[in-house]
Amino acid sequence: MSDPANVDSARVDSTSVKYAPGAESSVARTVGRCVAGWIVGYLISAVSSVLLFVVGRIPPEKPASTAVTWFTAIYGIVFAVIGAAVVASFSRKNALGIGAAIALTIGVVAMWSWYSTPDHSHWTHLIAIFLMAPAAQFGSLTRRLTD
Protein backbone atom coordinates (compact mmCIF):
# COMPACT_ATOMS: atom_id res chain seq x y z
CA MET A 1 0.00 0.00 0.00
CA SER A 2 1.12 3.53 -0.58
CA ASP A 3 1.46 6.19 2.01
CA PRO A 4 -1.05 9.06 1.52
CA ALA A 5 1.67 11.58 2.35
CA ASN A 6 3.77 10.36 -0.58
CA VAL A 7 0.82 10.56 -2.96
CA ASP A 8 0.28 14.25 -2.16
CA SER A 9 3.93 15.07 -2.67
CA ALA A 10 3.89 13.33 -6.07
CA ARG A 11 1.10 15.51 -7.47
CA VAL A 12 2.12 17.99 -10.09
CA ASP A 13 0.70 21.47 -10.23
CA SER A 14 -0.87 21.97 -13.67
CA THR A 15 0.67 25.45 -13.95
CA SER A 16 4.16 24.03 -13.65
CA VAL A 17 3.84 21.76 -16.72
CA LYS A 18 5.67 23.23 -19.70
CA TYR A 19 4.96 22.30 -23.28
CA ALA A 20 7.58 21.84 -25.93
CA PRO A 21 8.36 25.02 -27.83
CA GLY A 22 6.25 25.27 -30.96
CA ALA A 23 3.91 22.43 -29.95
CA GLU A 24 0.82 24.58 -30.44
CA SER A 25 1.95 25.74 -33.89
CA SER A 26 2.75 22.16 -34.90
CA VAL A 27 -0.73 20.99 -33.89
CA ALA A 28 -2.34 23.95 -35.65
CA ARG A 29 -0.30 23.24 -38.78
CA THR A 30 -1.33 19.58 -38.77
CA VAL A 31 -5.01 20.45 -38.25
CA GLY A 32 -4.78 23.05 -41.02
CA ARG A 33 -3.26 20.52 -43.41
CA CYS A 34 -5.95 17.97 -42.58
CA VAL A 35 -8.78 20.46 -43.09
CA ALA A 36 -7.22 21.70 -46.32
CA GLY A 37 -6.84 18.11 -47.49
CA TRP A 38 -10.45 17.34 -46.67
CA ILE A 39 -11.75 20.40 -48.55
CA VAL A 40 -9.48 19.99 -51.58
CA GLY A 41 -10.15 16.24 -51.80
CA TYR A 42 -13.89 16.72 -51.70
CA LEU A 43 -13.68 19.53 -54.28
CA ILE A 44 -11.67 17.33 -56.67
CA SER A 45 -14.43 14.73 -56.49
CA ALA A 46 -17.37 17.15 -56.57
CA VAL A 47 -16.11 19.48 -59.30
CA SER A 48 -15.17 16.58 -61.55
CA SER A 49 -18.66 15.12 -61.10
CA VAL A 50 -20.36 18.42 -61.90
CA LEU A 51 -18.16 18.80 -64.98
CA LEU A 52 -19.15 15.32 -66.14
CA PHE A 53 -22.85 16.17 -65.93
CA VAL A 54 -22.47 19.61 -67.52
CA VAL A 55 -20.05 18.72 -70.32
CA GLY A 56 -21.69 15.36 -71.02
CA ARG A 57 -25.16 16.90 -70.83
CA ILE A 58 -26.26 14.13 -68.49
CA PRO A 59 -29.35 15.03 -66.45
CA PRO A 60 -28.68 13.48 -63.01
CA GLU A 61 -32.31 13.91 -61.98
CA LYS A 62 -33.58 11.61 -64.74
CA PRO A 63 -33.10 7.86 -65.21
CA ALA A 64 -30.00 6.99 -67.24
CA SER A 65 -29.08 4.17 -69.57
CA THR A 66 -26.93 1.32 -68.32
CA ALA A 67 -23.91 2.60 -70.27
CA VAL A 68 -24.20 6.09 -68.81
CA THR A 69 -24.65 4.68 -65.31
CA TRP A 70 -21.54 2.50 -65.64
CA PHE A 71 -19.48 5.33 -67.11
CA THR A 72 -20.59 7.71 -64.37
CA ALA A 73 -19.80 5.14 -61.68
CA ILE A 74 -16.30 4.42 -62.99
CA TYR A 75 -15.61 8.12 -63.53
CA GLY A 76 -16.77 8.96 -60.00
CA ILE A 77 -14.72 6.16 -58.45
CA VAL A 78 -11.58 7.22 -60.32
CA PHE A 79 -11.88 10.86 -59.24
CA ALA A 80 -12.73 9.94 -55.65
CA VAL A 81 -9.57 7.81 -55.48
CA ILE A 82 -7.48 10.51 -57.17
CA GLY A 83 -8.81 13.21 -54.86
CA ALA A 84 -8.12 11.22 -51.70
CA ALA A 85 -4.71 9.99 -52.87
CA VAL A 86 -3.57 13.47 -53.83
CA VAL A 87 -4.61 15.18 -50.61
CA ALA A 88 -3.42 12.38 -48.35
CA SER A 89 0.04 13.80 -48.96
CA PHE A 90 -1.02 16.98 -47.13
CA SER A 91 -0.54 15.08 -43.86
CA ARG A 92 0.59 11.53 -44.54
CA LYS A 93 0.30 10.30 -40.98
CA ASN A 94 -3.35 11.44 -40.99
CA ALA A 95 -4.11 10.14 -44.49
CA LEU A 96 -6.75 7.68 -43.31
CA GLY A 97 -8.55 10.38 -41.35
CA ILE A 98 -8.55 12.72 -44.34
CA GLY A 99 -9.89 9.92 -46.54
CA ALA A 100 -12.59 9.14 -43.99
CA ALA A 101 -13.60 12.81 -43.87
CA ILE A 102 -13.86 12.94 -47.66
CA ALA A 103 -15.84 9.68 -47.76
CA LEU A 104 -18.18 10.89 -45.03
CA THR A 105 -18.72 14.20 -46.81
CA ILE A 106 -19.49 12.47 -50.12
CA GLY A 107 -21.99 10.19 -48.38
CA VAL A 108 -23.66 12.93 -46.33
CA VAL A 109 -24.00 15.30 -49.29
CA ALA A 110 -25.47 12.48 -51.41
CA MET A 111 -27.98 11.59 -48.68
CA TRP A 112 -28.91 15.24 -48.18
CA SER A 113 -29.41 15.63 -51.94
CA TRP A 114 -31.51 12.46 -52.05
CA TYR A 115 -33.69 13.73 -49.21
CA SER A 116 -34.10 17.18 -50.76
CA THR A 117 -35.13 15.79 -54.18
CA PRO A 118 -37.58 12.97 -53.44
CA ASP A 119 -39.24 13.12 -56.87
CA HIS A 120 -36.00 12.70 -58.87
CA SER A 121 -34.19 9.58 -59.96
CA HIS A 122 -31.56 8.59 -57.38
CA TRP A 123 -29.02 6.61 -59.40
CA THR A 124 -26.32 9.26 -58.87
CA HIS A 125 -26.88 9.24 -55.12
CA LEU A 126 -26.49 5.48 -54.97
CA ILE A 127 -23.22 5.69 -56.91
CA ALA A 128 -21.91 8.35 -54.54
CA ILE A 129 -22.92 6.53 -51.35
CA PHE A 130 -21.99 2.96 -52.24
CA LEU A 131 -19.10 3.42 -54.68
CA MET A 132 -17.51 6.86 -54.50
CA ALA A 133 -17.40 7.21 -50.71
CA PRO A 134 -15.62 3.86 -50.16
CA ALA A 135 -13.33 4.68 -53.11
CA ALA A 136 -12.24 7.88 -51.38
CA GLN A 137 -11.30 5.92 -48.27
CA PHE A 138 -9.45 3.40 -50.45
CA GLY A 139 -7.57 6.23 -52.18
CA SER A 140 -6.22 7.51 -48.90
CA LEU A 141 -5.34 3.96 -47.85
CA THR A 142 -3.32 3.34 -51.00
CA ARG A 143 -1.47 6.60 -50.46
CA ARG A 144 -0.75 5.69 -46.85
CA LEU A 145 0.57 2.26 -47.84
CA THR A 146 3.04 3.73 -50.35
CA ASP A 147 5.04 5.44 -47.60
pLDDT at 145: 72
Mind listing the pLDDT tens digit for each residue in 22-64? 667 888 999 999 999 999 999 999 999 999 999 999 999 999 9
State the pLDDT at residue 88: 86
Q: Which residues of the chain have pLDDT under 70?
A: 1-23, 144, 147
In this prediction, residue 5 carries a pLDDT of 53
DSSP label of 128: I
| pLDDT on residue 131 | 97
Contact call for residues 42 and 83 (beta carbons, < 8 A) = yes
3-state secondary structure the chain: CCCHHHHHHHCCCHHHCCCCCCHHHHHHHHHHHHHHHHHHHHHHHHHHHHHHHHHCCCCCCCCCCHHHHHHHHHHHHHHHHHHHHHHHHHCHHHHHHHHHHHHHHHHHHHHHHHHHCCCCCCHHHHHHHHHHHHHHHHHHHHHHHCC
Q: What is the DSSP letter of 32?
A: H
